[in-house]
Amino acid sequence: MDPRKLGAEFLGTFWLVFGGCGSAVLAAAFPEVGIGLHGVSLAFGLTVLTGAYAFGHISGGHFNPAVTVGLFLGKRFEAKDILGYWVAQVLGGIAGAATLYLIASGKPGFAAGGFASNGYGALSPGGYSLVSAIVAEVVLTAFFLIIILGSTDKRAPAGFAPIAIGLGLTLIHLIGIPVTNLSVNPARSTGAALFGGGAYLAQLWVFWLAPLIGAAIGGTLYPLLAGDPPKQA
């Protein structure tokens, strides 16, 4: 495994968690800023957009264990590299959350609270059930993978994939934040839950299982829809 690829996945996932969760922890709750749902959704989209342009040419710009699985099932990634990518992504997510915690805890009266963690039931921003959480995470992750596979298809316009993926993630957050605080990314969920506390850690299994199922659906469905790329003359 090329260490440069692992380093790119680590930094890209760090940036996603630090930037996306940071917008929720530092800015969304700040009365003078109050970026709210729309600002946090855009922040997550911007982290992926900028990360993809910065690191995509090195590692492919997954930054997400579910994306890695979906790309494997979509025949865009090799099975032998999955574990290495997962380790780099999870460590990057934890490092991003730890850095954010170090900054946030420097404010007098700081309380971690949920720390932008994901949850259902009493831990859901809107009080949504476990079933609602699973369905939302599966469907939104599946469409995220379809967006990724479609925008990076050789038949798609070249150079615009990070924009489509970033805007796709923004839309997904606009839909999913009220339900689960939106995961679609087990590495992001793991990093935040470690600082959110025991209740969020107890529910973390959902935010591994559901995104992986959704990624498997999206990664399998897109090639069936798109077929094989046309052969060059």
104's CB contacts (< 8 A; 6+ apart) are 25, 26, 110, 112
* pLDDT tens readout for residues 176-195: 999 999 999 999 999 999 99
**Is 233 within the bounds of a domain?**
no
**Is 94 within the bounds of a domain?**
yes
At 197, which CATH number? 1.20.1080.10
At residue 232, the pLDDT reads 45
Sign of the Cα pseudo-torsion (105, 22, 71, 85, in order) = negative
144 alpha-carbon distance from chain centroid: 9
**Is 100 within the bounds of a domain?**
yes
Question: Domain limits at 42?
Answer: 3-226
**Is 189 within the bounds of a domain?**
yes
The answer to whether the predicted template modeling score (pTM) of the entire model surpasses 0.85 is yes
Sign of the Cα pseudo-torsion (149, 153, 156, 161, in order) = positive
Domain tally, the chain: 1
Nearest 5°: CA angle at 121, between 120 and 125?
65
List phi, psi (to 5°) of 204.
-60, -30
At residue 111, the pLDDT reads 79
**Is 77 within the bounds of a domain?**
yes
**Is 195 within the bounds of a domain?**
yes
* Spans of the chain below 70 pLDDT: 28-33, 229-233
218 alpha-carbon distance from chain centroid: 15
